[in-house]
Amino acid sequence: MSTDSAAKPAADATAEPRDFVRQIVRDDLASGRQAAIRTRFPPEPNGYLHIGHAKAICLSFGIAREFGGWCNLRLDDTNPGKENPEFVEGIKEDVRWLGYDWHELRHASDYFEVFYRAAVKLIEDGVAYVDDLDAEQVRAYRGTLTEPGRNSPFRDRSVAENLDLFRRMRAGEFDDGSKTLRAKIDMAAGNINLRDPALYRIRKVTHQNTGDAWPIYPMYDFAHALSDALEGITHSLCTLEFEDHRPLYDWCVDKVDLPNHPELWQPLIDAGLPTTPAKPRQIEFSRLNLSYCITSKRKLAQLVNEGHVDGWDDPRMNTLRGLRRRGFTPAGLRLLIERVGISKQNSVIDYAVLEGCIREDLDATSPRRMAVLDPLKLVVTNLPADHEETLAFANHPKDESFGTRDVPFSPQVWIEREDFAEVPPKGFKRLIPGGEVRLRGVGIVKCEEVIKDADGHVTELHVTLDPESRHGLPGADRKVKGTIHWVSAKHAVDTEVRLYDRLFSVPAPDDESDGQPWTAHINPEAKRITRGWLEPAAAGAAAEQRFQFERIGYFVADRVDHRPDAPVFNRIVTLRDTWAKQAGA
C-alpha cells in the first residue's frame, strides 16, 4: 500500500508567500511609511476558534513573524453576556497550538475608560450626540440602500446637553436601550454604516472582566478601530465583510486622533499598559470557506448545545480543538492556509484539499505501526506452536532517521479479514485458498486450509511459511503479488478505535435551499466506534502521538481518553481520498 508521494515538498518547506497583503507590507517598509510591522488577531470570546480563524491567525501572526514585527492577541469582549472566560482560555490554547505566540494579550475591555474619554471628546468636538430614538425608530430613520435616511430629532442637541446626558448614561441613570450615543456623520451617506452609527449603547449586564463598572458598552466599530490605534497596529487585517465598515473605522481613528491626545490614554499608562498609539490601516481579505464545514460560531454552538456532537472538541467538529483531537496537525493546517493563499476573491475550498495537506504532513512525520481492525486468525502451522521472535521494523519507509522498532512475531497472528477472499474478486492480490502472500517482514505464506464454523463463517486460516523466503535469505526476493500486515496474537494489545469521517454528508450543509434544515445533513457515519489489535509499540503511545497504521490510515492516540493500558485511537484520515469516488469524480 503506497502513501502520498514523497516527491511533494514537505509541510513548511514551500516558497515565501507573495500575496497582496504581504506586498503592501513590503512596500510600507521599503518606503519608510512603517518602521516595524504590528498586527493583531481580535477574536470575540463567544465560542471556540474554528478552521476559518486559522486563516486569520496564520495571516496576522505569520506576517508579524516574517517581517520581524509582532502580533497581539486581543479579545474583543464588548458583548458581555455572550462571552465567557472558558473561551478565552480555549482561544489562547488554540493559537499556541497552531504554532504562534502573541506579543501582548489585550482585551478591548482594558480600554473601556479610554473609549469613554474618546466619546466625550467626540461630543465636545460636536461630532457625536445622544439620541433618544429606540432601536425600531433608529431603523425607520436610517433609510435604505436606495433612499437616504432622516436626521434624528435629537441630532442638534447642544454639546452641553449631550455631555450631561452621556455622563448620566455612564452613571446608570437610564434604562437599557433608551438612549444611544451616535456619531454625527451623514444621514444621506451612500454607505449606510456612515448614517450616524451608534458608538455606545446602554446595557446593564455584568461583564466578565469589568464586572458592574459599566452600564454602557462601546459598539464594535468604535471599539475595534480605537483598540487597533491604541496598540499601535500598523496593518489591521480582517475579512471582506468589514470592507464597508472601513470608512467608519477611519472616521473613528481620525476624529479621536489618539496620537495627539495623550490625556485620552493616560489611564493605560497609569495601569501599566504600554501604549504608543498610531494610525492603523485596515486591509480586507476573503474568508476561508471549506466544503463540508460550518464556520459560524453560532451554528457550531448549536451542534454542541443540541447534542449533535460530544462537545466543542468532538473530533468531527471543525473547531481548532476538534481538529486537534481528531489528530490534524498544526503544520498541515498551516500548509492548507499557505496553499489557499490570500486574496479578495471569495471561494469555497474542497475539503479534500485540507485532507490532502494533513496526509502530506502526516506521511512525512508519522512513524508506521501495524494494527488490525477487523481480525481474522492466521496460524503458521510449520513453526513450533511456542515459537517467538523479535523482528526489527523500520519506523518510516522513506526516512531512516525514524529508526527501527521491535515487533514480536509468533505463529498465530491477526490479519485483516478483507485480506482473505475465498472467492476473490477480479484483480485480488492478497490471500486466497491455495494462494500465497507475503506477511510483511516475515516471509511468504501459503494458505493450506480454511477453517469455518458451523455457519460456514471463516474463523481461521492455516498457512505454511516458506522458510527460504524469510528476511536475509536468498529466497526473500521471491515475488508474490501481495503483501499484508499482521499483529502477533499473543502480543496484540486490544484497543478502542474511533473511526471518524466528515460531519456533514453534503458539500454545502449551510445551503437550506432544498427546504431541509442544515442539521439534517449531519452524516450518521461520521463516528463509528470499533475495536482492533495493536502491535505493542503502538499501544505505548503518548496522548496525541500520531501513527500511520500501515495500509489503513493515520491515527492518533486520543488526547483525552487514551491510556497505554487501555488504548484509544482516533482515525485522523484515511490513506486515500474515499469521497472523490462517491462524488463521482
Interacting residue ranges for ligand ATP, rule: CB under 6 A: 42-44, 52-53, 55-56, 238-239, 287-288, 295-297
E strand or H helix at 97, and its extent?
Answer: helix 85-97
The closest alpha carbon to 252, from 199, 195, 303, belongs to 199
Nearer to ligand ATP, 288 or 442 (CB): 288
The closest alpha carbon to 47, from 264, 222, 305, 234, belongs to 305
Pairing of strands 216-218, 198-202: antiparallel
Residue located via cell numbers 472582566: 209
Distance (Å, rounded) from C-alpha 441 to C-alpha 486?
10
Catalytic residue among 117, 297, 321, 502: 297
Catalytic residue among 287, 429, 446, 576: 287
Buried b (16+ CB within 10 A) or exposed e, 36-59: ebbbbbbbbbbbbbbbbbbbbbbb
Q: Cβ 42 to ligand ATP, closest distance in Å?
A: 6
Q: Cβ 295 to ligand ATP, closest distance in Å?
A: 4
Quick count: other Cβ atoms within 10 Å of Cβ 233? 26
Question: Is 51 flagged in the annotation as binding?
Answer: yes
Q: Cβ 63 to ligand ATP, closest distance in Å?
A: 14
Nearer to ligand ATP, 44 or 186 (CB): 44
Question: Is 288 flagged in the annotation as binding?
Answer: yes
Q: Cβ 579 to ligand ATP, closest distance in Å?
A: 21
Question: Is 570 flagged in the annotation as binding?
Answer: no
Q: Cβ 222 to ligand ATP, closest distance in Å?
A: 15
C-alpha distances out from residue 503 to 165, 256, 297, 446, 518, Å: 52, 47, 16, 42, 12
Nearer to ligand ATP, 297 or 521 (CB): 297
Catalytic residue among 8, 26, 44, 204: 44
Question: Is 50 flagged in the annotation as binding?
Answer: yes
Nearer to ligand ATP, 206 or 296 (CB): 296
State the DSSP string of 404-453: EEEEEE-SEEEEEGGGB-SSPPTT--SB-TT-EEEETTTEEEEEEEEEE-
Q: Cβ 380 to ligand ATP, closest distance in Å?
A: 54
Question: Is 327 flagged in the annotation as binding?
Answer: no
Q: Cβ 508 to ligand ATP, closest distance in Å?
A: 15
DSSP category for residue 226 = H
Question: Is 580 flagged in the annotation as binding?
Answer: no
Question: Is 45 flagged in the annotation as binding?
Answer: yes
Nearer to ligand ATP, 43 or 367 (CB): 43
Question: Is 287 flagged in the annotation as binding?
Answer: yes
The closest alpha carbon to 45, from 16, 98, 88, belongs to 88
Question: Is 54 flagged in the annotation as binding?
Answer: yes
Q: Cβ 288 to ligand ATP, closest distance in Å?
A: 4
| Residue of closest CB approach to ligand ATP | 52
Question: Is 52 flagged in the annotation as binding?
Answer: yes
Q: What is the maximal distance between C-alpha atoms in the chain?
A: 102
Annotation says 33 is catalytic: no
C-alpha distances out from residue 572 to 209, 506, 551, Å: 38, 20, 14
Distance (Å, rounded) from C-alpha 142 to C-alpha 412?
79
The closest alpha carbon to 169, from 230, 136, 128, 138, belongs to 128
Query: Which grid cell is 413?
Result: 497472528
C-alpha distances out from residue 538 to 40, 161, 366, 440, Å: 41, 73, 12, 17
Contact (Cβ atoms closer than 8 angstroms) between residue 185 and residue 249: no
Annotation says 44 is catalytic: yes
Question: Is 171 flagged in the annotation as binding?
Answer: no
DSSP category for residue 16 = P
Nearer to ligand ATP, 52 or 332 (CB): 52
Crossing angle of helices 112-124 and 220-230, in 10° steps, is 110
What's the one-letter identity of residue 149?
Answer: G
Annotation says 512 is catalytic: no
C-alpha distances out from residue 371 to 123, 396, 484, Å: 70, 15, 11
Nearer to ligand ATP, 64 or 552 (CB): 64
Nearer to ligand ATP, 238 or 572 (CB): 238
Q: Cβ 435 to ligand ATP, closest distance in Å?
A: 52
Beta carbons within 8 Å of 89's beta carbon, 6+ residues apart: none
Nearer to ligand ATP, 52 or 218 (CB): 52
Active centre residues (catalytic): 44, 287, 297
**Binding residue ranges:** 44-46, 50-56, 76, 220, 239, 287-288
Q: Which residues are annotated as a binding site for L-glutamine?
A: 76, 220
The annotated binding site for ATP is made up of 44-46, 50-56, 239, 287-288
